[in-house]
Amino acid sequence: MDNKAISPDPAPAALLLEWYDGHARDLPWRVKPGARPDPYRVWLSEVMLQQTTTAAVTPYFAKFVARWPTVEALAAAPEAEVMAAWAGLGYYSRARNLVACAREVAARGGFPDSEGELRKLPGLGPYTAAAIAAIAFGRRAVVVDANVERVVARLRAIEEPLPGARKAIRAATDAITPESRAGDFAQAMMDLGATICTARDAKCLLCPLASLCRGRATGDPLRLPVKAAKKARPRRTGTAFWIEQDGAVWLVTRAGRGMLGGMRALPDDGWSARADGHGDPPLGGRWQAGGVVRHTFSHFDLELGVAIYAGDAVADISGGEWWPVERLEAAGLPTLFAKAAQLVLAR
């Protein structure tokens, strides 16, 4: 599809905003159509929603704003506490960037209101910066997430497979983004993709853009956007080590960068996205098999065996901390290691 052939078209925005005024989703970070939300809540929700569902984010968002109601409060929080509160939400680099961004915003005296300045903040890529600029500050910005991508690919019948089609999809989105109510328009597009024009269904009879949709006119809108064939996911293996003594389990803090960086975890044998684990146990002595947990990361699958220490009392171990087993939920273990702990504790 030739981007130069895409000319501004105000009709989709007018139809969509009229629909949004009566059908906007009620979400804890949202305000009513036409109102201006708190930039902190917009930013926090958009960071949490990256590659994560609304249903998964909602309880975390509520927990965060109750504990840290302002960006200044979050900026003052110890990083370890924020990482623990984030546990289970995945993509843990977002939590580290969240703290770094909050501290920079607090030092600035508030969020910048332009897309360009927002891009300079830690952890804010093109989509997040555009979404905050539009939703929190009413700036005209082209906001394209997975829902918008699908809606526009169908609306304009963009046949090129993803990811190559993204340039054409962005150009087509730009052509229908209005100067006013850009934030409401962006959220309306997201809502349309989440509730009407979904990946598995196209409820065209309910869609406010049905009369303009070229994908619907083809008779098979569900085939759009066209996706390239998926590559086989690599499978990795590793081992986590459970060392328990006097009602406490030995936890380590993972390196700040890399998989699950900065999180408390069980010690392991050094598995990574690129290689199976091969390291030695943290202690000599007897170990017994405790079962296997399986976990899916964004780019690979992991089979993690759990080895339980069955040797003598531990007298010489360093580089971690003893954590009471009865308070293990408060440690903020990532989902992978929480699964491993549940496996052991269920024995």
Residue whose tokens read 């497979």: 161
Q: How does DSSP classify residue 285?
A: S
Give CA–CA dist 55/266, Å, rounded: 28
Q: Which residues does 230 contact at the CB level (< 8 Å), separation at least 6?
A: none
95: enclosing H helix or E strand = helix 93-108
- CB hemisphere CA count around 79 (13 angstroms): 17
CB 306 within 8 A of CB 290: yes
CB 277 within 8 A of CB 240: no
Is 104 labeled as catalytic in the residue annotation? no
CB 51 within 8 A of CB 298: yes
Give CA–CA dist 167/269, Å, rounded: 42
To 5 degrees, how large is the angle CA 131–CA 10–CA 170?
45
Backbone angles phi, psi at 177, to 5 degrees: -80, 125
**Strand, coil or helix: 125:** coil
List 46, 79, 117, 149, catalytic entry = 46
Q: Name the pairing type of β-strands 244-245 and 248-253.
A: antiparallel
CB 197 within 8 A of CB 208: no
Closest CA to 236 of 288, 292, 291: 292
Give residue 25's identity as a one-letter amino acid code: R
CB 321 within 8 A of CB 248: no
Q: Which residues does 200 contact at the CB level (< 8 Å), separation at least 6?
A: 222
Q: How does DSSP classify residue 177?
A: -
Catalytically active residues, by annotation: 46
